[in-house]
């Protein structure tokens, strides 16, 4: 079956109280509309059409990388009018699926069920039972339980207002039927809008089949109108991701304190402690431990790695058995090789730390290549920047850098060299020897410590 998806996104979202258009507000780090477009594409349609209006240029610009046919609806005259704008772009032999740009968590299985259940010349919608139906379209069923109409909250009678089965807004019909029916819609209702939902009565009156597929979860079909609803869906989504990880053998200590704003792949027996934030593309091996408050962004971590609390890793790679943190920061283009150790208050940038090498305390290593079995003492700094250019520091295998050393790049410390503590190294240090720069220590015996007035 040929499918065209039409996503309605022209509304302005007044209740968000925001300068950002509603469909650009983010859920799991991605605009609401991007979620819907991705789900639409997962159905492998002929085309995905987005009907836009309010702040359309900004919406188009933000989502410019997505494959979409953008259709402007100049005036928002209702959902029926919005779909009508898309019809000229759709082949007559296509099936049309209408989604909402502000219903971000709709799933592919539920949409496939809707498409499967709807007959060729009929209409299908997705409905759901809700505890509070305020503001939503009510599902009216006849005596035999068949769908007969959808009545908007503002047009409903007292009896109809008691109905808790509501219309999600998601609808499907053939392009051919929509060509017949949409121009017949009237706006003689309390909002003077052309309601897409009136198709139900139209189709039923012409003896076509109208069906409602009931969604089992409210959140999957729930629209976002305000920030409270947005955050409810965010938590639902995060809990769902955490549960999926748990099911695969990854331990998420507290699914309510887990946030993934991107894609996470994790191996079995890996443990993710509380308040971990995942951003972008993150891969974790098996048997890793990710401590509390760790942020991982576009980072790949191999098996048996420990990342201790409060560490931040960005665009980095950590190999097997390495231990990072607590309070470590790995900035972009860092690679820590097998069994490497990066300790507390250490910042690494654009550097390769070789196998079994250690940078354990309070150091900055940037634009550097560090060999294997190197020990970098506390408070070591690569002075990589002269105010204009960045220079490289090379530390070869087995070198030992004494604490408090400053390595003024470009500079090289050769194999097995030892650098005495407190040195400022400005030229290359030869292999296997002790190199140090240090002023002679002296003691001034007649010196008196200053005293405070009050102590006199």
Contact status: 82 vs ligand UD1 (CB under 6 A): yes
Cross-strand partners of 69 = 49
Site for ligand UD1 in 202-241 (CB under 6 A): 223
Q: Single out the segment in contact with ligand UD1 by CB under 6 A; choices: 39-47, 72-80, 238-246, 358-366.
A: 72-80
Contact mark string toward Ca ion, 209..228, x via CB under 5 A: --------------x-----
Query: Under DSSP, is residue 261 helix (H, G, I), strand (E, B) or coil?
Result: strand
User: For ligand UD1, how many residues bind (rule: CB under 6 A)?
Assistant: 27
Q: Which of 73, 94, 293, 423 binds ligand UD1 (CB under 6 A)?
A: 73
Tell me the window of 97-105, 235-243, 293-301, 328-336 that interacts with ligand UD1 (CB under 6 A): 97-105
- Residue 73's binding partner among ligand UD1, Ca ion, none (Cβ under 5 to 8 angstroms by kind) is ligand UD1
Q: Is the separation of the CB atoms in 343 and 322 below 8 Å?
A: no
- Buried b / exposed e over 157-183, threshold 16 CB at 10 Å, is eeebeebebbbbbbbbbbbbbbebbbe
Among 45, 169, 285, 377, binds ligand UD1 (CB under 6 A): 169
Cα 423 to Cα 407: distance, rounded to the nearest angstrom: 8
- Taking CB under 6 A as the criterion, which residues in 34-63 touch ligand UD1? 51
Residue numbers 176-205 binding ligand UD1 by CB under 6 A: 195-197
Instruction: Quote the least distance from Cβ 273 to ligand UD1, whole Å.
Output: 38
Binding string to ligand UD1 for residues 247 to 286, with x set by CB under 6 A, is what? ----------------------------------------
Task: Name the residue nearer to Ca ion (CB basis): 128 or 381.
Answer: 128
Taking CA atoms, 136 is separated from 146, 164, 169, 380, 451, in Å, by 19, 9, 9, 63, 77
Residues 102-141: x/- map of binding to ligand UD1 (CB under 6 A)?
x---------------------------------xx----
| Residue position matching structure tokens 């860092």 | 334
Backbone angles phi, psi at 166, to 5 degrees: -120, 165
Structure tokens that stand for 12 in this block: 């302005």
446 is written with which tokens? 């007649």
Task: Measure the CA–CA gap between 414 and 247, rounded to whole angstroms.
Answer: 50
HSE of 374, CA atoms in CB hemisphere, 13 A = 28
Indicate which residues carry an active-site annotation.
361
Does 45 contact Ca ion by CB under 5 A? no
Secondary structure element (H or E) that encloses residue 243, with its range = helix 227-247
The footprint of ligand UD1 (CB under 6 A) covers 8-11, 51, 73, 76-79, 81-82, 100-102, 136-137, 150, 152, 166-169, 195-197, 223
């Amino acid at each position: 079956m040929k499918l065209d998806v039409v996503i309605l996104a022209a509304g302005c979202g007044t209740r968000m109280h925001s300068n950002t258009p509603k469909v650009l507000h983010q859920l799991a780090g991605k605009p609401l509309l991007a979620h819907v477009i991705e789900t639409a594409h997962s159905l492998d349609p002929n085309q995905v059409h987005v009907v836009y209006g309010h702040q359309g240029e900004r919406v188009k610009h933000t989502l410019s990388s997505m494959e979409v046919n953008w259709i402007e609806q100049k005036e928002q005259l209702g959902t029926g009018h919005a779909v009508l704008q898309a019809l000229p772009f759709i082949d007559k032999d296509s099936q049309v699926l209408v989604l909402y740009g502000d219903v971000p968590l709709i799933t592919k299985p539920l949409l496939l069920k809707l498409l499967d259940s709807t007959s060729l010349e009929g209409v299908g919608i997705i409905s759901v039972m809700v505890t509070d139906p305020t503001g939503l379209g009510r599902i009216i069923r006849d005596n035999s339980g068949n769908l007969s109409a959808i009545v908007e909250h503002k047009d409903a009678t007292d009896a109809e207002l008691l109905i808790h089965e509501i219309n999600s807004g998601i609808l499907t019909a053939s392009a051919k039927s929509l060509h017949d029916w949409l121009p017949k819609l009237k706006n003689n209702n309390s909002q003077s809008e052309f309601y897409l939902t009136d198709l139900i009565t139209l189709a039923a009156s012409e003896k076509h089949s109208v069906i409602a597929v009931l969604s089992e979860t409210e959140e999957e079909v729930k629209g976002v109108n305000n920030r409270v609803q947005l955050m409810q869906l965010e938590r639902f989504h995060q809990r769902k991701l955490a549960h999926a990880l748990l099911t695969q053998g990854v331990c998420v200590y507290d699914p309510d304190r887990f946030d993934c704003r991107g894609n996470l792949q994790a191996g079995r027996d890996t443990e993710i402690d509380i308040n971990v934030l995942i951003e972008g593309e993150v891969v974790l091996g098996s048997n890793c431990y990710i401590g509390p408050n760790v942020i991982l962004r576009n980072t790949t971590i191999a098996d048996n790695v420990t990342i201790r609390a409060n560490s931040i890793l960005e665009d980095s790679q950590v190999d097997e058995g390495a231990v990072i943190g607590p309070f470590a920061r790995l900035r972009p283009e860092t690679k820590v090789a097998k069994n490497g150790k990066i300790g507390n208050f250490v910042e690494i940038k654009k550097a390769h730390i070789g196998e079994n090498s250690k940078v354990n305390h309070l150091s900055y290593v940037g634009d550097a290549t560090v060999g294997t079995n190197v020990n970098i003492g506390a408070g070591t700094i690569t002075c990589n920047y002269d105010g204009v250019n960045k220079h490289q520091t090379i530390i070869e295998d087995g070198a030992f850098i004494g604490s408090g050393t400053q390595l003024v790049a470009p500079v090289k410390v050769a194999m097995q060299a030892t650098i005495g503590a407190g040195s400022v190294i400005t030229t290359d240090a030869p292999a296997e020897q002790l190199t140090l720069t240090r002023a002679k220590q002296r003691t001034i015996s007649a010196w008196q410590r200053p005293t405070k007035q009050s102590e006199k």
